């Protein structure tokens, strides 16, 4: 399907907020909470008219599930941006202090004991 002129107009370009909201559909497979509320997304940088670079970390550098998260990110951003680059970062290290209040509520609902 060809793109229309409206689809190329600047006011239809995805914003950082749009991308962050979409990333709330990416669920950490071990904890069952989205990566935004877990505090795993360290930065979102729009690139050009059609791309985003996502600085993201994991709860552990040894996590074997990076492929699963990369696939989820690609899926939720499909149609929102043309290009998404997932940049795995390890500094500063993730700690539970980075979890949002919404994330804490979700973890409590799953039976985790979080402050």
pLDDT range class, residue 11, cuts 50, 70, 90: low
Structure tokens at 21: 């909201």
Of 112, 113, 115, 89, nearest to 31 (Cα)? 112
- pLDDT tens, 29-78? 999 999 999 999 999 999 988 999 999 999 988 888 899 999 999 999 99
């Amino acid at each position: 399907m060809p793109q229309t002129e409206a689809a190329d107009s600047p006011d239809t370009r995805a914003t950082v907020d749009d991308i962050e909201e979409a990333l709330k559909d990416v669920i950490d497979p071990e904890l069952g909470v989205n990566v935004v509320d877990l505090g795993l997304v360290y930065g979102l940088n729009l690139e050009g008219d059609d791309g985003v670079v996502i600085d993201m970390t994991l709860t552990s550098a040894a996590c074997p599930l990076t492929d699963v998260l990369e696939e989820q990110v690609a899926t939720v951003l499909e149609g929102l941006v043309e290009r998404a680059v997932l940049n795995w970062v390890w500094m500063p290290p993730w700690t539970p202090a980075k979890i949002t209040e919404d994330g804490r509520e979700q973890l409590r609902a799953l039976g985790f004991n979080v402050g």
